[in-house]
Amino acid sequence: MEETYLSDFGTILLFLIGGAVFILIGLGASKMLRPSNPNPEKLSSYECGEEAMGSSWVSFNPRFYVIALIFIIFDVELVFFFPWAVVFGQEELIRATNGTWGWFSLIEMGIFLGILLLGLAYVWVNGHLDWIKPKPVIPQSRSKIPAEMYAAVNKKYS
């Protein structure tokens, strides 16, 4: 479609608009068609049939936050990998430099990767990647199967 004057991202804008129109039609049509009889019971938040206790916009486990921080660091490093990966194997560059280009870029990236691995090792050793494991409470029962077998299974899959 060379004759159209849309640039690459113009087409992506068209996709964006198309998606938005689809969503608007969906939401708009359902708004016109559906019944609407709200009452306070219906509008309360679901909490297993109990009345909801307070707001749920409260603090949550900081581990999620730590994971997000580590992710940011690694993802920024990952972004630097993409341009490197594209030029790494280019024949012209390798030929132009008599093959030293490959070694140069590999060693350069090895240093970068080493720093990245050091970071991974650091968070690993400090236990930021360990999630809290559930501690199963094993109920006492009069089963004919000996308790050691359960213990063995639990040990195997913990």
Q: 50, 95, 108, 109: which one contacts other proteins (CB under 8 A)?
A: 109
- The Cα-based distances of 123 to 31, 53, 58, 69, 129 in angstroms read 49, 36, 27, 11, 7
Give the residue from 118, 106, 107 showing the smallest Cα distance to 77: 118
Cβ contacts of 146-151, under 8 Å, gap ≥ 24: none
**Residue 98 in contact with other proteins, rule: CB under 8 A:** no
**Residue 137 in contact with other proteins, rule: CB under 8 A:** no
How many C-beta neighbours within 10 Å does residue 71 have? 11
Query: Which positions from 4 through 63 interact with other proteins, judged by CB under 8 A?
Result: 8, 11-12, 14-16, 18-20, 22-23, 26-27, 29-30, 33-38, 40, 42-48, 52, 55-57, 60
Residue closer to other proteins by CB (options 46, 142) is: 46
Residue closer to other proteins by CB (options 93, 150) is: 93
